[in-house]
Amino acid sequence: MNAPAAMEAASLLRIEGQAVTAVDSIDLELKAGEIFGLVGESGCGKSATCRSVIRLFGGAEVEIAHGRILFEGADLARLDERALEDLRGSRIAMIFQDPMAALNPTMRVGEQIAEGLMRHRRLGRRQARKEAVALLTSVGVTSAARRLNSYPHEFSGGMRQRVLIAIALACRPRLLIADEPTTALDVTIQDQILKLILRLRRETGMGVLLVTHDLGVVAQTCDQVAVMYAGKIVESGETAQLFRQPAHPYTMALLDALPARTARGAKLRPIGGEPPNLASPPEGCRFHPRCRYAADMCRHRVPALEPVEPSHLAACLRLGELRR
């Protein structure tokens, strides 16, 4: 997928070397109108990276130790709480993993959509309700005026996800953070949600940070992708190029485990071992205990991201030897 040419200019979001709990030295850049995928196994730090952007950690005591999180030039890591509250839900919106947990079960759906409209866009209650109907309709909820009075438990999983997207888009954000937006949805609903995000990106010009563990979703949706392992970015680049010529052993292993890339009748090649405990990760390259190409130096030296091709980076001490 290619972002519209007119939108390829300035950086919308740039994260530089931030460390948040189990996330260490993350560098990524997302442009307006672009969909940027962040992919990796569960527990690798993808969600922590997303929440660090809007500094929303569910009450946990988390510190951004160093670095910057630049959004349209402003450093989000230095904003006070009031400024962040004004930003969340307006210029930056987030779709959380579990729509049932993210929606308030005691509030009607219409009230939850109208809440942000009244706070950030200063709409009156009647106008906010009218806008909520339009938003639900735009994300494919039928009989939207009637469904405003429904509670979250009265919607299917796919419809609840659409409600979350409507809430996220209510204030026309410049950046949408989608944290596993298709988890636990069947393939038909997953396809509908991804097509909806693509259409809304095209119509509004917003940038999208899409977090997933599903490489198929990345291939279908993303312009750029970063592969994360044990709290670190190990490879990043243009999606088609990275899928065509993966440079890091972890990316290679992820792709080798895909059924679509396995010959008929052949066994899948799962990644051996377990992801490390992020409270005490291994020294050297964090992937070395599971890497079939690991050498002695990988156990002691931390690899840095280095260019493979223009705009394609990988962090592997054996990078030159392993190029496919």
Residue pLDDT, tens place only, 235-285: 999 999 999 999 999 999 999 888 766 666 667 778 888 888 887 889 999
- Domains in the chain: boundaries: 241-324
What is the distance between the alpha carbons of residues 28 and 225, in angstroms, rounded to a whole number? 9
CA 122 to chain CA centroid, Å, is 29
What is the distance between the alpha carbons of residues 208 and 31, in angstroms, rounded to a whole number? 9
What pTM was computed for the model?
Answer: 0.85
Token pair of 30 as six digits = 């997302």
User: Is pLDDT above 90 for 214?
Assistant: no
What is the distance between the alpha carbons of residues 166 and 312, in angstroms, rounded to a whole number? 34
Q: Are 305 and 228 in contact (CB under 8 A)?
A: no
Q: Are 212 and 37 in contact (CB under 8 A)?
A: yes
Residue pLDDT, tens place only, 140-180: 898 999 999 999 999 988 889 889 989 988 888 999 999 88
Contact residues for 175 (Cβ-Cβ < 8 A; gap 6+): 12, 13, 30, 53, 71, 91, 92, 93, 206, 207, 208, 209
Q: What are 107-114's contacts with CB under 8 Å, separation 24+?
A: 107/151, 108/148, 108/149, 108/150, 108/151, 109/136, 109/147, 109/148, 109/149, 109/150, 109/151, 109/152, 109/155, 109/163, 110/148, 110/149, 112/163, 112/167, 113/148, 113/163, 113/166, 113/167, 113/170
Residue pLDDT, tens place only, 178-208: 988 887 677 888 888 888 888 888 988 999 9
Give the closest residue to 19 by CA, choosing from 237, 179, 233, 311: 233
**Mean of all residue pLDDT scores within the chain:** 84
